[in-house]
């Protein structure tokens, strides 16, 4: 019997009350055992919603279609106690802001052991495991008795990472885990995540808007726009030879010291309003390549010729492939 993927999302469609179109529209995404997958896109593209969906944490009133399998088990249909067991064990999340993640009124030790104790682990054993994991993230047991307000943000994010590893998860979800931290601490936390992923053989879904970071840590990348995966593939392919104009535009708007002319190119316009229905490609209104076809027919994800694992949902992928990454936006 083969090991199931750590995470397999198949055709996830999520509709919120009051929205004219699904906020997630047919998301397909797989994280193999021990693999790191980055999910990149602008704010509001649905990245966080997708990663929270993998925990079964959905906004109130959300209607879903499709399947979200964590270690082979569907979190969308799991009964509450199965879902709870899954959350204390096989899947865990590192959230964006460590200050908001911990209850400021409870000790750090309580936070670390809370899930394990809920799963029936003896308090003493849970504390032992917490102490060991604190050491693994470079902290000592003295923080167990401290309150969140007494330690720095970087230390807190290490605590959150240690807490995420408490149940020995097969899947770790990291939702912009460094956005709330300063640059030095960011680098430390990323290095820590990469090291732990290797020593614990955990599948990692890394949600970020930082393309360089995604390129540095991930095996594969998914680019998301307006609730759809517009491009996916091995990190080096996607970043070196993008097949979707949105990926190209994102890459062009990343600050670089070597950027010609020293100017950043912003993507004109803004992502489509979720209250308006979409016909055709979601990116058409902002895309320099857009034609009437783009505005009328939504593009299907297609495999790039000669690159079996590289997919893009664009009517003009072929043109991009021919011209390389040269595109004036």
Distances (CA, A) of 280 to 268, 300, 321, 328: 19, 10, 21, 22
| Residue window 127-166: x/- pattern of binding to another protein, with contact defined by CB under 8 A | --------------------x-x-------------x---
Burial class (CB in 10 A: 0-12, 13-18, 19+), 241: middle
Dihedral angle over CA of 254, 252, 41, 301, nearest 10: -150
Under the binding rule (CB under 8 A), the answer on residue 76 touching another protein is: no
Under the binding rule (CB under 8 A), the answer on residue 202 touching another protein is: no
Q: What does DSSP say about strands 24-31 and 7-15: parallel, antiparallel, or unpaired?
A: antiparallel
Q: How far is the CB of 323 from another protein (least distance, A)?
A: 44
Q: How far is the CB of 58 from another protein (least distance, A)?
A: 11
Dihedral angle over CA of 224, 229, 235, 239, nearest 10: -60
Residue 107 or 302 with smaller CB distance to another protein: 107
Under the binding rule (CB under 8 A), the answer on residue 241 touching another protein is: no
* Stretch of residues binding another protein (CB under 8 A), selected from 93-101, 122-130, 217-225, 242-250: 93-101
How far is it, in rounded angstroms, from Cα 191 to Cα 117? 29
Strands (E), the chain: 7-15, 24-31, 36-40, 63-70, 73-74, 91-94, 171-175, 203-208, 220-225, 228-234, 302-304, 307-312
Residue 117 or 241 with smaller CB distance to another protein: 117
Under the binding rule (CB under 8 A), the answer on residue 95 touching another protein is: yes
Under the binding rule (CB under 8 A), the answer on residue 114 touching another protein is: yes
Under the binding rule (CB under 8 A), the answer on residue 84 touching another protein is: yes
Under the binding rule (CB under 8 A), the answer on residue 92 touching another protein is: yes
Under the binding rule (CB under 8 A), the answer on residue 67 touching another protein is: no
Identify which of 318, 301, 294 has the alpha carbon closest to the alpha carbon of residue 241.
318
Q: What does DSSP say about strands 24-31 and 171-175: parallel, antiparallel, or unpaired?
A: unpaired
Under the binding rule (CB under 8 A), the answer on residue 58 touching another protein is: no
Under the binding rule (CB under 8 A), the answer on residue 123 touching another protein is: no
List contacts with another protein (CB under 8 A).
Answer: 52, 55, 57, 83-89, 92-93, 95, 97, 100-106, 110, 114-115, 118-119, 147, 149, 163, 167
């Amino acid at each position: 019997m083969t090991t199931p993927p750590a995470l397999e999302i198949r055709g996830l469609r999520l509709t919120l009350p009051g929205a004219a179109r699904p906020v997630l529209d047919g998301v397909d995404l797989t994280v193999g055992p021990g693999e790191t997958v980055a999910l990149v896109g602008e704010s509001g593209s649905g990245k966080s919603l997708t990663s929270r969906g993998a925990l079964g944490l959905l906004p109130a009133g959300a209607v879903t279609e499709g399947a979200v399998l964590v270690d082979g088990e569907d979190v969308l249909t799991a009964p509450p106690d199965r879902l709870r067991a899954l959350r204390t064990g096989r899947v865990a999340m590192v959230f964006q802001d460590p200050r908001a993640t911990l209850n400021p009124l409870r000790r750090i030790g309580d936070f670390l052991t809370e899930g394990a104790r809920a799963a029936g682990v003896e308090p003493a054993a849970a504390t032992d495991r917490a102490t060991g994991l604190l050491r693994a993230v470079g902290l000592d047991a003295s923080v167990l008795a401290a309150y969140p307000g007494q330690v720095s943000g970087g230390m807190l994010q290490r605590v959150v990472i240690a807490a995420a590893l408490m149940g020995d998860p097969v899947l770790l979800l990291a939702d912009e885990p460094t956005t709330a931290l300063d640059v030095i601490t960011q680098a430390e936390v990323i290095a820590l995540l990469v090291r732990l992923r290797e020593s614990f053989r955990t599948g990692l879904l890394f949600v970020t808007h930082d393309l360089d970071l995604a390129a540095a840590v991930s095996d594969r990348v998914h680019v998301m726009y307006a609730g759809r995966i517009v491009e996916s593939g091995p990190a080096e392919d996607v970043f070196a030879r993008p097949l979707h104009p949105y990926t190209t535009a994102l890459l062009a708007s990343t600050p670089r010291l070597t950027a010609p002319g020293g100017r950043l190119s912003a993507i004109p316009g803004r992502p489509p309003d979720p209250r308006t229905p979409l016909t055709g490609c979601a990116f058409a209104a902002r895309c320099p390549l857009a034609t009437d076809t783009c505005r009328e027919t939504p593009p299907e994800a297609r495999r790039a010729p000669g690159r079996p694992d590289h997919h893009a949902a664009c009517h003009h992928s072929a043109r991009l492939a021919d011209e390389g990454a040269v595109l004036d936006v």
